[in-house]
Amino acid sequence: MPDIRISPRGVACPWLSWIRWSRLIGLFLLCLFMVAVISHIYLTDINSDPTDGQKLRIPLQTDEDESQIRKLNQEIKSLRKIKASVNNELRDMESKRQKLQSQISGYQKQIDILSAQIETSEKEIKSTQLTLEQLKLEKSEMDKQYLPILKAPIKMLMGENSNIKLPMPFDGQRCKMHSCFDFSRCSVFSGFPVYFYDSEKDLNIGELVPFLKNGIDEYFEENLYRTFDPSTACIFVAIVGQQINRITYSGLEKSLEKLPFWHGDGRNHILINLMRDENADIDIFGGANTGRAIIVQSPFVKTIFRSEFDIVIPPNVGKAFGDVWEELPPISPIRRKHFLSFIGSFKGKVQFQNGEQTDEQISNVEDSVISFLKNIQLKLDPEIFIKFSCDTIIPGAINGEYSMCQSDESRHELLKQSTFALIISPANESYVSTNIFQLRFYEALKYGAIPVILGDQVTLPYMEILDWKKATVILPKARLTEFHFILRTFTDTAMATMRRTGRYYFETYFSSTQSILDTALALIRTRLNIPPAPISDMKSPSVFDNNSYVDYKYEEVNPENDEILGPLEAVFPSVKFSNNFTQNVFYHKFTQTGDPFRNYPFTPFEHVLPSESKFIGSGYGFRPIGKGEGGAGKEFSEALGGNLPREQFTLVMLTYERSNVLITALQRLKGLPFLNKAVVVWNNPAPPTPDLKWPDIGVPIHVIKTTKNSLNNRFLPYDVIETEAILSIDDDAHLRHDEIVFGFRVWREERDRIVGFPGRFHAWDVKNNAWLYNSNYSCELSMVLTGAAFFHKYYAYMYSYVMPAAIREKVDEYVNCEDIAMNFLVSHITRKPPVKETSSQGDITMDIPLPRLPTDIIQ
């Protein structure tokens, strides 16, 4: 049965398709016939002679022509088949060619990957070889290092028999530490324990002034050295602060002998007089037998003062506790309205018991002083303000001393407008120090007038540990006619340095009851060669419950540079407390701006050894470039070099709600040489999510939980920071490894400065009478922001514990400016600007505009 096909119209017509094909074939044959006919006519026309005049005839088609047509059709069909076959073969060959090219491309990629792996392996081999050389050198140094065996010293005297009364020296008024102090109670490892008496209960000589009692009680509670066990105490402190002149000397002596631990002669006792009354008798302890006790007070008579044993302190007229920066005038301008000032009145005649000098001689000298000073004001220098008369004077001046005018306000305002303040020592040389003299000296330092002391027989406070030549001008009265010329030779730089030093001395050692007591105890502790109490690091609580996290290894990231920047050493900390018992540090630290009352694990002020020391005798830990032969870039990159031993740095990164940015920043640290650890300060109250993947960068990562969101957390001295060098960096700051290592090298040569990348400029704006801050690119820079900078950990202690709390409060208020505060702090301590580094990608900028700090804070 034939198939039935359906036409487009849906009608079954089996013959219709055949008819259509027949027609098409017919038309095709007709076309072939017409082509043959026309060709024949054309050929006949060409072969005929055009001159015969005969007309062309079109031949009729024959059977032979039809056979040729059929042959042509067959040849056409065969050619079409050949063409189709050739096309198929070409397509197959093209497919094979593409497959081969794809294989070649894959092989090329594999070759590139293997080449990169070879380069990476060669770099790792070189780095491993360098690390191996460093390990061999470290082992050799450890084998050769000489470590002496140290033992605690044994007791020298009779500490267990401290109740036995010891014989006094031949001259009892000439006590020295070696002859009147029991060192056996004060081992260098004792920690300097201090036992404080309850003065009202134990001394039983009257009630303390309420203001003083409250301050002393608070001081006792916060004192680091206080002990409640008298059997272990190094020294015993009794404080006097009431009208003791109402008690007879014999009564005072009996009260001292009744002290529970007087031990018969008062050895290791410190008697501190903090009386505020200028009318009090200056000879408080002169008529009483104080035995071997050390007397600490402001006024002293020469007959009872024991040099290098008793201690002269400033008058206790300041605060009990707290900062005093709000009460102090600015240091600038250096030259004030009055070049020199003095206001006071000479009191009475001089009484001498030895009769070596007469009243007439002394009167002539003082008359000459007064006369010359008046003349110099009238004739020589109109910028000098001298006044030798007072409507009312402050009582308490001794005979032969220049008293002070009663009006404190006018006297203080005069000192604020004076470049130098004249202080004339008492004509009565039997006094080592008096209340009035010390009060003049105190006020001059407080209000920024450089003290000029005329007369060199007086003793200044804490002269044993403070170099007063850096802050005062001391001249004998014999230089009276020449002192004006001497003062005029001081340059602005010299005067600024002296005023700045005097300001530091005042704030640190004079300003409050706490500072006076701290300094007196520190002086005694220094005599005993006992280091101060160590500073405390800030605890570093982890944000993770189990104090750990899981390391997720990410895919290898292409290095940002192919240079070998140094060996990948194991983590090691900086050496701590290496100068605990270094004598020159004990005395030097009191004149160095900072905190002299605590022991710091390291400071940026240690001197660098001579260049030959790293090769001769002191080469432990040093890594000179080219092993001492120098070298080019390759050798430079493979060793830290310099005149300092090898060390590492800690990276501290502050972050808040930017986990992805943080992780990316941490990933870039992988393989960074000299990195000790990364410390992430997590300022977000919410802890990290459990699914957050922390990268494995080859060194520990500590994520610290903070108590509140504060930019001050960036500078807390965390205990996990075990290196001197800190790299403070923002989580969105991108620095290459070579830039970081270069910054670290520069910091090692400038350890006391901030060394970093983003620079800023500040200056005093005269028009607006305020500080100007410029965040634009400038050729003049004065600050380096701590968003990418190296600094010493010592400054983290200073920022968190010593810098006035008002500045940290302003940082929290503005939620900004912490980098400005750190720059001002470091420059205040070192008097040096920061060091600006240039990154290969240009300066690192901050988009947040910083507000102007109030003038009183920056002062």
Parallel, antiparallel, or unpaired: how do β-strands 431-433 and 300-301 relate? antiparallel
Residue 697 CA neighbour count, 13 Å, CB half: 25
Q: What is the 3-state secondary structure (H, E, C) of 9-52?
A: CCCECCCHHHHHHHHHHHHHHHHHHHHHHHHHHHHHHHHCCCCC
Q: Maximum distance among all alpha carbons in the chain?
A: 178
Q: What is the 3-state secondary structure (H, E, C) of 400-421?
A: CEEECECCHHHHHHHHHCEEEE
Tokens of 579: 């100068």
Q: Are 819 and 786 in contact (CB under 8 A)?
A: yes
Cα gap 371→653, rounded to integer Å:
67
73: which residues sit within 8 A by CB, 6+ positions away?
A: none
Residue 610 CA neighbour count, 13 Å, CB half: 5
3-state secondary structure of 559: coil
Closest CA to 141 of 659, 620, 745: 620
What does residue 608 show for φ and ψ, rounded to 5 degrees? -85, 140
Cα gap 698→672, rounded to integer Å:
9
Cα gap 833→824, rounded to integer Å:
9
Beta strands in 489-602 (DSSP E): 551-552
Cα gap 696→682, rounded to integer Å:
18
Q: Are 755 and 834 in contact (CB under 8 A)?
A: yes
Cα gap 89→92, rounded to integer Å:
5
Q: What is the 3-state secondary structure (H, E, C) of 149-191?
A: CCCCCCCCCCCCCCCCCCCCCCCHHHCCHHHHCCHHHCCCCCC
Q: Which amino acid is at 469?
A: K
Tokens of 87: 């096309």
Tokens of 623: 């890594």
Q: Distance of CA 751 to CAs 542, 563, 603, 796, Å?
A: 30, 26, 9, 14
1: which residues sit within 8 A by CB, 6+ positions away?
A: none
What does residue 765 show for φ and ψ, rounded to 5 degrees? -90, 105
Angle between helices 210-222 and 513-527 (to 10 degrees): 50
Instruction: Tokens 């005839």: give the residue.
Output: 57
Give catalytic status of residue 819 as yes or no: yes
Among the listed residues 143, 819, 843, 847, the single catalytic one is 819
Residue 328 CA neighbour count, 13 Å, CB half: 25
End-to-end CA distance of the chain: 116
SS3 percent helix, strand, coil of the chain, rounded to 5, is 40, 15, 45
Is the peptide bond preceding residue 426 cis, with omega within 30 degrees of 0? no
Q: Are 791 and 650 in contact (CB under 8 A)?
A: no
Counting Cβ atoms within 10 Å, is residue 374 exposed (0-12), middle (13-18) or buried (19+)? middle
Cα gap 314→446, rounded to integer Å:
12
Active site residues: 819
